Each structure stands twice: as structure tokens, then as C-alpha cells.
Amino acid sequence: MKARFLKIIALPVILLLFSAHSSSAQDAGCTMVVSPAAGSTLILNSSYTVTLRIENFGTTTLTSIPVKFSLNGLGNTPLNETWTGSLDPGDSTDYTFASQFTLTDASDTSGYGIADLVGDTWPPNNLATVIYVFPGGPTSVDQEEESSRLSIEPIFPNPTSDNLSLIISGNADGKNIKVSLLTIEGKILKEFEYSAPHDNLEVNLNIANLPAGLYFIGATTGYDTVYRKFVK
């Protein structure tokens, strides 16, 4: 009797990996604040021409994109306009606002540009940030005071989901801390007050009912105020 052998053939296993984000039809982003350029010196109550670079990350041609610009101090009035034209997938263009931006609040040197397309399903690429310089900024004499100022630790993960976790530090005076949830335009959505912690204050907020988009979270003692942006 002839021996019979079973031939085993090893078939390769193919794994398909998909990124967390795949291109959608409607996806616009702001990739850069072109002007005023990063590192520029801005003067309180002066006005500046603003240019943003916007890009079509989607799969269809875009003909209009709402755009915004401001600095993070809530006393500033954001620029809100709409780019119109024809922007093919993968292309970018520079948009210069018709109105100038006037710096009326110099409490924060960071600014942002936003491409706020209706129906955009991937908010993380909507925002470009920029840092400026203000005359008379902190010097070596102020370093001790600066080190004890209120701060919000970097938010992680960002974009976040249904829960927002924060660590607020620097409450050297032991004052009560008011935490505010705001729209990118500065409208207060919710406020919470916490008793005076001298060390780190851990805050957990349920934001399940918050629509997807860009927001501020703010903390203040009445004497010191700080903000951070996050994406839902």
C-alpha cells in the first residue's frame, strides 16, 4: 500500500489596517495662520490684516468654507467670514479677511484660525494655532510670580469623547476655582465652582450631550484666569 501524504499549504493571512480617520466628502481644515506670522509683535488696540491657509482634505470640490480667527483672550472679538471659490481635493489656498482684527485683550499670546465647514466630520484638522509676542511681556523679575500662576494641564485625549478630564494647578492663594465650558466664540455653556484646593484640582465633566466641535475650558479664581482649547 502506498503511503498517502497530506500536503498542507500555508495561506498568508492578510491584515487590512484602517486609520481612525478616512477621507470623507466634506472635510476642510486650516493648516496655518499666514499673517500675522507666528512670533510677530502685536500691540494692544492695534488692528491687523489676517490671512489663513485652508485646505480641502475631503473627496469633493468645495465652493465655500466659513473661517474664523482670534486670540484666546475672551475680550477679543473673533473675525467670522466665508471663503468662496473652487477648492479641489488635496488643494490649499490662502484667504485674507476683509475685516481687520483688533487686539483688545492681551491676556493670552496664543491665537487660532479655524475652517468651520458645515458637515465636516473630522474637527481635529480644522484648527491652526499661533503664538505672538506682546510688548512688556514677563521678565526675569516676574519669573517667581509666573511659576505660581493658575494653569490647566494639557488635555488628553484631545479630541476627547463623552468625558473631559482636567488637572488645574497653581492655586497658590487657595481661592475657590470657577470652571467654565465655552464655545470658541466665548459663549458660556456651563459653569462649575470648586472649593479652594492648594494643590492640583482634578475635574471630570460629562460632555456627552455636547455637539462635535471646538471649545474652550476656562478656570478662574477671580484674580487669575486661564483657558485651554479642546475638540469634541
Spans of all domains in the chain: 28-131, 151-231
SS3 124: helix
Domains 28-131 and 151-231 fall in the same CATH topology: yes
Q: What is the pLDDT of residue 114?
A: 93
Looking at domain 28-131, its CATH class is: mainly beta
pLDDT tens per residue across span 113-127 = 999 998 887 887 888
CATH number of 151-231, picked from 2.60.40.2550, 2.60.40.10, 3.40.190.10, 2.60.40.1120? 2.60.40.2550
Which pLDDT does position 85 carry in this prediction? 97
Q: b/e per residue, 2-16, with b = 16+ CB within 10 A?
A: eeeeeeeeeeeeeee
**What is residue 44's predicted lDDT score, i.e. its pLDDT?**
92
Query: Low-confidence residues of the chain, pLDDT below 70?
Result: 1-23, 136-148, 185-186, 197-198
Name the E strands within the chain: 28-35, 47-48, 51-56, 62-71, 79-87, 92-96, 101-102, 110-115, 127-131, 151-152, 163-169, 177-183, 188-194, 201-206, 214-220, 225-231
